[in-house]
């Protein structure tokens, strides 16, 4: 039962990833007074890019050609590592640190591919995303503070039911701030811009086209969906039935995607050198939540 639910949920999450991106785009457009694309926009873009001719820049090597596949594979594994029903069979990998290092693997290869394109934009992008990564990794670690405090293990498990509202709320805000940065959304990075002054992830994939670009786009979409869902998996309560829990999480993902669209319409981009402060704030909140739980006054 659990095996089946987990397997199906992983497939559903991966397949619905372009739709989740589409929801954010549509909500954003409506809030900004535009009509916006269709909800199925993400699939259409992927199909269009997949059908185009693949080109690679001169001076690039095999690194540039395999990097999208490695990022996409790492993101598929990230989606698979998350226990969508709130729990998984013990032999299914569901370790949080593995998930962090899979994100680091993706960042490493995106960064390398940026440098391999031998252009200015690629290097600019890889410098920016790796610098950002250095702040995001500890912040993610801190955001999960209450998970370590409650379970004492590194497995991804729901924490609700062991906590009072205050540390839970702080951890939720902290996690939200960190994943907005990790996913490259506003107020850290703007996915819709192609201005060299502002773009980060887009700069690393600027030279890609065709199937390689499609793989990159799919990786971005799956990362978006999986990390939005991860928040619900560990921060929201699980139902008695695994199937219902998984369905609930998937509905929650769509709701959060709409929320991100709202946030992106409400806030403008932070200055690049203010991002460390933003991430330090997120880590501080996570650490404080951990401290509250460990002193025992709030649970």
Partner 1 sequence: MLTYGIVAIGLAASVAAFNRVLSQYLMLGLSIGVLALAVIGLWDFRSIHLWTPYFQMTPLRAWFLLVVGIVSTMAAWYRVGYQQHNQVFTGFWLPWFVLAMAAVILSQTVWVFMTAWEVMAATSFLLVVSHHEEPGVIKAGYIYLVMSQISAMAILAGLLLMAASLHSMNFALWAAKARFLPWETKSGVFALLTLGFAIKCGIIPFHVWLPRAHPVAPAPVSSLMSGAMIKLGVFGIVQFLLMDLGATALLWPIVLLVLGAVSSLLGVLYALMEHDLKRLLAYHSIENIGIIFLGLGVMGVGIDLHHPQIAVVGLVASLFHTLNHALFKSQLFLAAGAVEQHTGTLDAEHLGGLIRTIPGVALGFLLGSMAISALPPFNGFVSEWLTFRGLLSLATGFHGLWAASALGLALVLATTSALAGMCFVKASGVTFLGQPRQRVAQVPLGRSITAPILGLALISLALGVFPEPVVRVIGSIDPTTSYHAVSLLLPIKTTLIAVLLGIAVVALVLLARPSQARTVPRWACGGDATPAMQFSSSSMTKAIRTTFAVIYRPHRQLSRIGENSRDFPERLVYKGGTTPTWERYLYRPGYQMAWWLSKSTARIQAGPVRLYLTYLLVAVGMMLLVLH
Q: Which parts of 100-119 interact with partner 1 (CB under 8 A)? A: 100-102, 104-105, 107-108, 111-112, 114-119
Shortest distance (Å) from residue 284 CB to partner 1? 11
Nearer to partner 1, 66 or 258 (CB): 66
User: Binding partner 1 by CB under 8 A: which of 30, 162, 211, 269?
Assistant: 211
Check binding of 207 to partner 1 (CB under 8 A). yes
Nearer to partner 1, 33 or 58 (CB): 58
Quick check: 75 and 39 in contact, CB under 8 A?
Answer: no
Check binding of 206 to partner 1 (CB under 8 A). yes
Long-range contacts of 176-180 (CB under 8 A, 24+ apart): 176/231, 177/139, 177/143, 177/278, 177/279, 177/281, 177/282, 177/285, 178/136, 178/139, 178/140, 178/143, 178/279, 178/282, 178/286, 179/227, 179/228, 179/230, 179/231, 180/260, 180/263
Provide the mask over 115-154, with x wherever binding to partner 1 is found by CB under 8 A and - wherever it is not.
xxxxxxxxxx-xxx-xx-xxxxxx-xxx--x--xx--xxx
Provide the mask over 147-186, with x wherever binding to partner 1 is found by CB under 8 A and - wherever it is not.
-xx--xxxx-------------------------------
Nearer to partner 1, 49 or 256 (CB): 49
Enumerate the β-bridge partners of residue 155.
95
Nearer to partner 1, 135 or 261 (CB): 135
Shortest distance (Å) from residue 214 CB to partner 1? 8
Residue 113's alpha-carbon distances to 7, 120, 124, 182, 200, in angstroms, are: 31, 12, 12, 18, 13
Nearer to partner 1, 38 or 55 (CB): 55
The first and second tokens of residue 77, run together, are 């594994």
Shortest distance (Å) from residue 193 CB to partner 1? 16
Note the Cα 235 to chain centre separation in Å: 16
């Amino acid at each position: 039962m659990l095996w089946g639910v987990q397997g199906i949920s992983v497939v559903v999450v991966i397949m619905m990833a372009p739709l989740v991106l589409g929801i954010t785009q549509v909500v954003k457009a409506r809030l900004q007074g535009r009509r916006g694309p269709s909800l199925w926009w993400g699939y259409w873009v992927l199909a269009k890019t997949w059908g185009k001719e693949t080109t690679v820049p001169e001076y690039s090597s095999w690194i540039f050609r395999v990097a999208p596949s490695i990022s996409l594979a790492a993101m598929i594994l990230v989606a698979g590592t998350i226990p969508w029903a709130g729990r998984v069979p013990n032999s299914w990998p569901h370790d949080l640190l593995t998930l962090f290092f899979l994100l680091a693997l993706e960042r490493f290869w995106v960064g390398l591919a940026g440098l391999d394109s031998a252009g200015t934009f690629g290097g600019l992008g890889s410098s920016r995303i790796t610098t950002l990564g250095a702040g995001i990794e500890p912040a993610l670690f801190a955001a999960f503070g209450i998970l370590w405090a409650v379970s004492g293990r590194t497995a991804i498990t729901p924490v609700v039911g062991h906590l009072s509202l205050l540390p839970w709320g702080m951890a939720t805000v902290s996690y939200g701030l960190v994943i907005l940065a990790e996913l490259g959304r506003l107020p850290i990075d703007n996915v819709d811009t192609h201005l060299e002054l502002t773009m980060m992830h887009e700069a690393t994939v600027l030279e890609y086209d065709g199937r390689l670009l499609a793989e990159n786009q799919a990786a971005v979409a799956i990362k978006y969906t999986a990390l939005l869902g991860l928040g619900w998996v560990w921060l929201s309560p699980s139902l008695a039935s695994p199937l219902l829990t998984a369905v609930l999480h998937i509905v929650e993902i769509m709701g959060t995607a709409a929320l991100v669209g709202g946030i992106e319409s409400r806030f403008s981009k932070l200055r690049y050198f203010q991002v460390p402060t933003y991430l330090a704030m997120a880590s501080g909140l996570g650490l404080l939540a951990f401290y509250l739980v460990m002193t025992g006054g709030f649970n």
